[in-house]
Amino acid sequence: MTGIGRVLVAGAGWIAHRVHLPYLARLRQAGGLGELLIADTDTARAEAAAREFGARMHAGSLEEAAAGIVLVATPPSSHAALVLRALKAGAQVVVEKPLALTAADAAAVWRNSVESGLRVYPLYTSRHRPEVAVLRDAVAELGDVRQVRAAWMRRSGVPVTDGGRAAGVLWDLGSHLADLAVHLAGWSAVTGTATARHQHPSTGGQDAAAWQTVTAAGGTASALPCWHGVSAAATVDPSFPAGPVRQLRLEASWAAPGAARDEVRIDLEAEKGSVHWRTVLGWSPDRALAPAPAAWAVRDGERHVLVDAQPRDARHEYAGQLDAALAALTTPDCRAEAVRHLRAACASTALLHAMDSALSGIAQPFTTAV
Ligand SMILES: NC(=O)c1ccc[n+]([C@@H]2O[C@H](COP(=O)([O-])OP(=O)(O)OC[C@H]3O[C@@H](n4cnc5c(N)ncnc54)[C@H](O)[C@@H]3O)[C@@H](O)[C@H]2O)c1
């Protein structure tokens, strides 16, 4: 990685306090970063964060910051517009998940990134878990992936921040699941049809995520959404010349009735066998309860353990994603990897956009146009 000049963090909320600002402040102290600027539409929040992390509050526009890298950590509805503005201002971008809320916005980011030669690295934390590389290798040996089932069921974990909650559970937890599905199955470009339905109506607010304390760093008082869960499916044609249609089933809940503990389940069925992952993602304290083994493959009727232990400390994958993001933006050799990563984010955004629209009850076609 080459030296990094000025970084602007846009959005000084919960995730910025928990992950981005401590990481960047440490990097600056170690001499790996020239200047750290923090902006927030809530200027008091930006000012407090700047004091806490030894940074400078930026009160002007994103363009006036003249940053080499902009890190977007605002609520999802503002991501695509801020990324496009940052690219136009000549900055490279790290953006929190989801990349965008529509396939068209994701494609616009892709186009502008390619045309400007500036890189955009979306943060899909879960793929930075060490198990994912092991799973991907195992899946690659099993031939064509025919079906992916991905579920993230929390017993009690409705985000308290606007950034986590406003776009709904499909975009909050589902964006990690869709990214993992696309990444593990190797579906870089997708077309198909999606269906979806809501489940688990709100029980009135007793289900807030215990690990997200409401402080000056974030958290607002707006009403909880009406639904805590979603179940969605898609037929996926990953642009293969022929062969059967692939299926993706996705289920996500912030508060699944009757769930004893949080659980993430990913199952991939391929031509020559299957791969299975059971774990807990994110900051939930239920990480401590996830049983081993974490992942196994089944081939010729035999079960092979792929990953025995469960990673208990979430900080590693959150720091790992930022290591990867900064390397992707600043290292010439990482160009191909950065392009692959952005293309996958466009594919998962197209899938989720169609699923989100299908919550109306009408099946929705989708295609990644990149
Ligand atoms: N990878 C993960 O595990 C993970 C976990 C939590 C949140 N996130 C993502 O991080 C993002 C932020 O979530 P959060 O929980 O920190 O939200 P938050 O509501 O706590 O923080 C968002 C901040 O952005 C500010 N803001 C809003 N619009 C802005 C704009 N146009 N310019 C500058 N500032 C603006 C708000 O005032 C607020 O301080 C979301 O996209 C969310 O999905 C990811």
Q: The domain that contains 178 carries what CATH number? A: 3.30.360.10
Compute the distance from residue 78 Cα to the ligand 1 centre, in Å.
Answer: 9
DSSP string of 35-68, one letter each residue:
EEEEE-SSHHHHHHHHHHTT-EE--S-TGGG--S
Q: How far apart are CA 116 and CA 202, in angstroms?
A: 44
Q: How far apart are CA 36 and CA 43, in angstroms?
A: 16
Angle between helices 335-358 and 174-185 (to 10 degrees): 130
The answer on pLDDT for 360 being more than 70 is: yes
Inside any domain, residue 240: yes
Which structural domain, as residue segments, surrounds residue 274? Answer: 126-316
Amino acid symbol at 250: L
* Mean pLDDT confidence for 144-164: 94
What's the pLDDT band for 273 if we cut at 50, 70, 90? very high
Inside any domain, residue 369: no
Measured over the CA atoms of residue 180, residue 181, residue 184 and residue 187, the dihedral's sign is negative
Compute the distance from residue 38 Cα to the ligand 1 centre, in Å.
Answer: 13
Q: What is the pLDDT of residue 239?
A: 65
Q: 76 near 61, Cβ under 8 Å?
A: no
Inside any domain, residue 191: yes
Residue 191: CB atoms within 10 Å: 17
Q: What token pair was written down for 205?
A: 């607010």
Q: What is the pLDDT of residue 216?
A: 44
Residue identifier of the C-alpha nearest atom 27 of ligand 1: 74
Q: Is the CB of 324 under 6 A from ligand 1?
A: no
Q: What is the pLDDT of residue 206?
A: 66
Residue 171 Cα: closest atom of ligand 1: 43
How many domains does the structure of the chain reveal? 1
With H, G, I as helix, E, B as strand and everything else as coil, classify residue 11.
coil
Q: Is the CB of 40 under 6 A from ligand 1?
A: yes
Inside any domain, residue 225: yes
Inside any domain, residue 66: no
Question: Residue 296's beta-bridge partner residues?
Answer: 276, 305
Query: Among 23-32, 242-251, 301-310, which is the least confidently predicted range?
Result: 242-251
Inside any domain, residue 345: no
Residue 218 Cα: closest atom of ligand 1: 20
Query: Among 263-272, 274-283, 331-340, which is the least confidently predicted range?
Result: 331-340
DSSP state of 127: G
CA separation, residue 221 to residues 45, 160, 161, 214, 236 (Å): 16, 8, 8, 10, 39
Amino acid symbol at 172: D
DSSP state of 245: P
85: Cβ–Cβ under 8 A, 6 or more apart, which residues? 62, 63
The answer on pLDDT for 219 being more than 50 is: no
Q: How far apart are CA 103 and CA 96, in angstroms?
A: 16
Residue 42 Cα: closest atom of ligand 1: 37
Residue identifier of the C-alpha nearest atom 17 of ligand 1: 163
* Mean pLDDT confidence for 45-68: 98
Amino acid symbol at 181: A
Inside any domain, residue 321: no
Mutate to test the pocket of ligand 1, among 38, 40, 158, 176 (most ligand atoms within 8 A of CB): 40
Average pLDDT, the chain: 92
Q: What token pair was written down for 199?
A: 């489940």
Place of tokens 């750290």: 36
Mutate to test the pocket of ligand 1, among 37, 83, 95, 96 (most ligand atoms within 8 A of CB): 96
Q: Is the CB of 163 under 6 A from ligand 1?
A: yes
Q: 5 near 35, Cβ under 8 Å?
A: yes
The answer on pLDDT for 298 being more than 80 is: yes
DSSP state of 101: S
Regarding pTM above 0.75, the answer is yes
76: Cβ–Cβ under 8 A, 6 or more apart, which residues? 96, 97, 98, 100, 101, 163, 166, 167, 171
The answer on pLDDT for 132 being more than 60 is: yes
What pLDDT, in 10s, does the model give residues 68-98? 999 999 999 999 999 999 999 999 999 999 9
Percent of the chain with pLDDT strictly greater than 70: 93
Q: What is the pLDDT of residue 79?
A: 98
Compute the distance from residue 14 Cα to the ligand 1 centre, in Å.
Answer: 7
Q: Which residue has the higher pLDDT, 115 or 187?
A: 115
Q: Terminal CA-to-CA distance of the chain, rounded, Å?
A: 28
Q: How far apart are CA 241 and CA 223, in angstroms?
A: 47
Q: How far apart are CA 81 and CA 42, in angstroms?
A: 18
Question: Residue 235's beta-bridge partner residues?
Answer: 193, 247
* Mean pLDDT confidence for 125-149: 96
Mutate to test the pocket of ligand 1, among 14, 93, 212, 352 (most ligand atoms within 8 A of CB): 14
Q: Is the CB of 164 under 6 A from ligand 1?
A: yes
Q: What is the pLDDT of residue 221?
A: 41
Q: What token pair was written down for 203?
A: 């029980």
Inside any domain, residue 137: yes
CA separation, residue 183 to residues 37, 86, 143, 242, 248 (Å): 33, 26, 15, 21, 13
Q: Is the CB of 39 under 6 A from ligand 1?
A: yes
Q: How far apart are CA 351 and CA 369, in angstroms?
A: 12
The answer on pLDDT for 205 being more than 80 is: no
